[in-house]
Every structure is written in structure tokens, then in C-alpha cells.
């Protein structure tokens, strides 16, 4: 845990942070709004005392209440992984600026997040589905997409424990069964 890094982040991004800087094990997490993604990530990438040149991962998250886009960054200036969470995207129309202007390789990861969560990355010039077929209807990793869709309504539905844990009896198939504030 890099305590010094935490104070640096708090000083540099005081205006953009929407919550406290969290640290655990070898991870430092900051939360920002979707509108600040471009300015914060550009600063992290370009400023020589931060110098986060390496985008380790880009993930979409559906917490059941909001959508998030999570960036994991690596830099030689700190021994921690930096996790930047773009928080509070609406579940109905999640939108976030693309980071392909910094890392072109994020293009496919953003396509994946679009495919799996329906998150629109503004500025990504190739935002098509990447895994699912082009005429597919839903976004499979969203929390209102139950495996029940194709399994529990079949005659054997609810027999296998895996399906039963996800599908309360008599629940409408659009219900969100899991939420978290973690």
C-alpha cells in the first residue's frame, strides 16, 4: 500500500474525486464521474510524476443500481495497481467517453463492454458487438439478464442448482436478483 501515492492523488484530483481514495493490499482505487474520464486519464497518462503508460484492463461493471467502467493502470512511479472507476452511469443509457485516443488497444475492450453491458463509448469509431451475433437482442452480463432466459422456463428449469440460485420462483425475468455497493 503506497500511502504517499494516496496523498498525491488526493492533492492532484481533489476536484474530480467523488469519494475517498481507497487502498487495500496492493491496490489504490479512485472514483470519478463519467464526465471526468478524459481529463483524469489524460493527466494520469501524460504527467511525468504519474506516468501511467500501461492500461492493464478495462472492464464494465453492472452493480444492479448503476453501471461503472473500471480502468486498471500500471506505472513505474508506484508499486500499486491504480483502479480508476467511472461511477454512476445510468443503467438505462450508460455513456462514457472512449479512451482510444490514449490507448488504441482499448478499442476492443470497449467493444466487449458495449456488447456485454450496452455501455456506449463516445469517440470509439468501431463500437459494434464483438462476441454476440449482430442481430442479438440483449447484453448478457447485465444483472437483469438471467440465465433463466433460456434455462429456467424449460421443462427441467430450476432443477440444476446453478439455475435455482439465480432464479427465485415466480420472479419476473427482468428482475435484478443481485445488487452490491462494494
Using CB under 8 A as the criterion, which residues of the chain lie in contact with another protein when the complex forms?
A: 24-27, 29, 53-57, 59, 61-62, 70, 72, 74, 76, 79, 81, 83, 102-109, 112, 116, 125-137, 140-141, 147, 162, 165-166, 178-182
CB of 121 to another protein, least distance (A): 11
Which of these, 154, 156, 152, 181, lies nearest to 169 by C-alpha position?
152
CB of 68 to another protein, least distance (A): 10
- Whole-number Å distance between alpha carbons of 139 and 136: 8
With respect to another protein, which residue has the nearer C-beta, 43 or 177? 177
CB of 174 to another protein, least distance (A): 16
Contacts of 42 (CB under 8 A, 6+ apart): 102
User: In whole angstroms, how far apart are CA 129 and each of 61, 96, 116, 153?
Assistant: 17, 17, 8, 27
For the sheet with 81-89, list strands across it: 22-24, 27-33, 81-89, 67-74, 54-62
- Whole-number Å distance between alpha carbons of 22 and 88: 17
User: What is the total residue count of the chain?
Assistant: 182
CB of 103 to another protein, least distance (A): 5
Written as one string, the DSSP assignment of 150-166 is: TTTTSTTTT-SHHHHHH
CB of 14 to another protein, least distance (A): 23
Amino acid at each position: 500500500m503506497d500511502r504517499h501515492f494516496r496523498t498525491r492523488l488526493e492533492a492532484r484530483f481533489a476536484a474530480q474525486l467523488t469519494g475517498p481514495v481507497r487502498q487495500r493490499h496492493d491496490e489504490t482505487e479512485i472514483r470519478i464521474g463519467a464526465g471526468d474520464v478524459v481529463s483524469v486519464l489524460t493527466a494520469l497518462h501524460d504527467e511525468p510524476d504519474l506516468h501511467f503508460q500501461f492500461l492493464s484492463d478495462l472492464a464494465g461493471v453492472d452493480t444492479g443500481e448503476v453501471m461503472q467502467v473500471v480502468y486498471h493502470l500500471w506505472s513505474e512511479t508506484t508499486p500499486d495497481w491504480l483502479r480508476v472507476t467511472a461511477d454512476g452511469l445510468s443503467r438505462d443509457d450508460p455513456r462514457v467517453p472512449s479512451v482510444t485516443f490514449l490507448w488504441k488497444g482499448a478499442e476492443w475492450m470497449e467493444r466487449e463492454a458495449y456488447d456485454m453491458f450496452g455501455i456506449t463509448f463516445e469517440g470509439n469509431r468501431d463500437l459494434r458487438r464483438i462476441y454476440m451475433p449482430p442481430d442479438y437482442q440483449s447484453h448478457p452480463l447485465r444483472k437483469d439478464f438471467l440465465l433463466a432466459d433460456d434455462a429456467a422456463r424449460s421443462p427441467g428449469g430450476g432443477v440444476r442448482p446453478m439455475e435455482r440460485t439465480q432464479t427465485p420462483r415466480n420472479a419476473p425475468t427482468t428482475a435484478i436478483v443481485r445488487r452490491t455497493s462494494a
